[in-house]
């Protein structure tokens, strides 16, 4: 029996346009979904490149103006995989047109932007989700299950970092394709909204709300040529950020991110220390969850490395056979699958409202970076 279609209009064919397209193609092949995703239209400003992308990924049509995409009657879901400055206007227009909306992170460039986006989807009553994909790496999902089961007991510490090194060159321009992340007008912030937003989303999912933060931020390269204007312009983003946080549950945290850690490309690690045990996870070894269980008696007590690939591990029963890995791309596949499953049941998280809470934390971090004070993060 054929399933009702979920007709997708995607905005953006860059890095995330590819991961989302791949996810919507893979999801119904590995998960039993109540709706069949259909790649109905891809929207980007360059028609030739959009047509090439459509042919490669199997999109049925192309649009060059996102407003025209939203006006179409044959689209159910608008998926925003465009730079951060596009999220607000597209999401609100899509919600007002009664479309479901999925949006890349950070939801807004500021919490004020994302508050308006939350209001729009809630007023329209449309399903909505933000692509904080790291929650759905099986080892991270398993960490959540273990914490919820009480395996760690009271949590004392949360520690996360996300390190890169790709903006060290002083002659790297800001702005334009691929480099919009260095342009504060487009990105909203630097590593705080780009990388720490991921760490904060995972942290609040695993360990609850963040109460207060104090941060230091730095912009190491103060001026860069702008790729679009050709002028040397001030750099408005934070190149590096480290902050301390207090969670609502009383635990203490440290977070660090930079694009100046020579040798690191995407080193996202997190560690949680509880009364009965600790967990550690590293994106470079994403299938492993390191676990210290203080309940083990005797000389064999120590860290164990769990290879999260068995059928009973989160999501893994839908893939190959025990012991075989999946990867980064499949975290997006899990998210697409959960969104579609949630349409006929409990809505999958993170919703726009959840992602807005992350924006409140990043706003507080950036504010603290300027004031040097502890700031409220909710
Ligand atoms: N979840 C994650 O792990 C993750 C990873 C990378 C990026 N992101 C987020 O995804 C979003 C996109 O990032 P990216 O790395 O894919 O960027 P990218 O530069 O690779 O791609 C951006 C795309 O948006 C298109 N675009 C720009 N303006 C447009 C307009 N007016 N109309 C239509 N299309 C337009 C560009 O042509 C391009 O195709 C950002 O919000 C970013 O923060 C999330």
User: How do strand 5-11 and strand 375-376 relate by DSSP bridges?
Assistant: unpaired
Three-state SS sequence of 229-293: CCCEEECCCCCEEEEEEEECCCCEEEEEEECCCCCCCCEEEEEEEECCEEEEEEHHHCCEEEEEE
Task: Tell me the CA–centroid distance for residue 322 and ligand 1, in Å.
Answer: 35
DSSP characters over 57-101 = HT-SEEES-HHHHHH-TT--EEEE-S-HHHHHHHHHHHHHTT-EE
pLDDT for res 178: 87
Fill in the DSSP letter of residue 136: G
Considering only CA atoms, which residue is closest to atom 6 of ligand 1?
A: 16
Whole-number Å distance, alpha carbon 177 to ligand 1 midpoint, is 9
| First-to-last C-alpha distance (Å) of the chain | 47
- Output the CA torsion sign for 179, 184, 185, 189: positive
**336: which residues sit within 8 A by CB, 6+ positions away?**
20, 23, 24, 26, 27, 37
Looking up tokens 């504010």 gives 367
CB under 6 Å to ligand 1: residues?
11-17, 43-45, 66, 81-84, 86, 104-105, 131, 133, 177-178, 194
Q: Which ligand 1 atom sits closest to the C-alpha of 131?
A: 1
Best residue among 41, 51, 59, 81 to mutate for probing ligand 1, ranked by most atoms within 8 Å of CB: 81
Closest by alpha carbon to 70, among 53, 48, 50, 92? 92
Q: How far apart are CA 174 and CA 172, in angstroms?
A: 7
The residue whose C-alpha atom lies closest to atom 18 belonging to ligand 1 is 14
Residues pairing with 279 in the sheet: 272, 291
Which atom of ligand 1 lies at the shortest distance from residue 19's CA? 16
pTM over the 0.85 mark: yes
User: What digits encode the pLDDT tens for the residues 2-29?
Assistant: 899 999 999 999 999 999 999 999 999 9
Separation of 166 CA from ligand 1 center, angstroms?
A: 17
The yes or no reply on domain 136-376 and CATH 3.40.50.620 is no
Please list, in sequence order, all residues whose beta carbon lies within 8 angstroms of the beta carbon of residue 275, skipping any fewer than 6 positions away. Answer: 152, 153, 154, 155, 156
CA of 84 to the centre of ligand 1 (A): 7
pLDDT tens by residue, 81-107: 999 999 999 999 999 999 999 999 999
CA of 355 to the centre of ligand 1 (A): 17
In the chain, where the domains are located? 5-133, 136-376
270-315: pLDDT as tens digits:
999 999 999 999 999 999 999 999 999 999 999 999 999 999 999 9
Q: 16 alpha carbon to ligand 1 midpoint, in Å?
A: 6
3-state secondary structure of 12: coil
The domain 5-133 is classified under which CATH number: 3.40.50.720, 3.40.190.10, 3.40.50.11540, 3.40.50.300?
3.40.50.720
For residue 80, what pLDDT is reported? 99
Tell me how far the alpha carbon of residue 59 is from its chain's centroid. Answer: 24
Of 115, 189, 105, give the one whose Cα is nearest residue 356. Answer: 115
Pocket test for ligand 1, best of 9, 83, 339 (most atoms within 8 A of CB): 83
pLDDT for the residue 91: 99
Residue 123 has what pLDDT? 98
SS3 content of the chain, % helix, strand, coil (to 5): 35, 25, 35
Q: Which atom of ligand 1 is nearest to the CA of 194?
A: 43
Give the distance (Å) from ligand 1 centre to CA of residue 78.
Answer: 14
180 alpha carbon to ligand 1 midpoint, in Å? 9
Q: What are phi and psi of 74, to 5 degrees?
A: -95, 20
Mutation test residue for ligand 1: of 56, 63, 82, the one with most atoms within 8 Å of CB: 82
pLDDT < 70 regions, the chain: none
Structure tokens at 112: 């004020």
CA distance 365 to 373: 10
């Amino acid at each position: 029996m054929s399933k009702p279609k979920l007709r997708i209009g995607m905005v953006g064919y860059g890095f995330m346009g590819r991961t989302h397209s791949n996810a919507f193609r893979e999801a119904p092949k590995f998960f039993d979904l109540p709706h069949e995703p259909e790649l109905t239209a891809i929207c980007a400003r360059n028609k030739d490149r959009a047509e090439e992308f459509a042919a490669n990924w199997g999109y049925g049509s192309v649009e060059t103006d996102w407003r025209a995409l939203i006006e179409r009657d044959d689209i159910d879901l608008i998926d925003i995989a465009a730079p951060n400055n596009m999220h607000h206007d597209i999401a609100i227009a899509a919600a007002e047109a009664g479309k479901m909306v999925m949006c890349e992170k950070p939801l807004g460039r500021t919490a004020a932007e994302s508050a308006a986006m939350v209001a729009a989807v809630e007023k329209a009553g449309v399903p909505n989700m933000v692509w904080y994909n790291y929650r759905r790496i099986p080892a991270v999902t398993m960490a959540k299950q273990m914490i919820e089961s009480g395996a760690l007991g009271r949590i004392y510490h949360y520690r996360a970092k996300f390190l890169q090194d790709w903006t060290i060159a002083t002659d790297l321009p800001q702005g334009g394709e691929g480099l919009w992340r260095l342009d504060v007008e487009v990105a909203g912030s630097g590593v705080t909204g780009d990388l720490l937003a991921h760490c904060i989303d995972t942290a609040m999912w695993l360990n609850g709300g963040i109460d207060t933060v104090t941060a230091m931020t730095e912009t190491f390269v103060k001026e860069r040529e702008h790729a679009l204007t050709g002028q040397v312009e001030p750099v408005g983003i934070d190149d590096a950020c480290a902050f301390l946080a207090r969670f609502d549950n009383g635990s203490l945290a440290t977070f660090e991110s930079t694009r100046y850690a020579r040798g690191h490309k995407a080193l996202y690690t997190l560690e949680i220390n509880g009364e009965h045990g600790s967990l550690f996870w590293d994106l470079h070894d994403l299938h492993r969850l390191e676990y210290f269980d203080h309940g083990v008696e005797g000389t064999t007590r120590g860290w164990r490395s769990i290879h999260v690939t068995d059928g009973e591990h989160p999501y893994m029963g839908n893939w190959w056979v025990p012991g075989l890995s999946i990867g980064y791309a499949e975290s997006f596949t899990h998210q697409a699958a959960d969104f579609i499953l949630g349409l006929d049941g409990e809505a999958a998280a993170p919703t726009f409202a959840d992602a807005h809470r992350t924006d409140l934390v990043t706003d507080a971090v950036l504010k603290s970076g300027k004031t040097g004070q502890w700031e409220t993060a909710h």
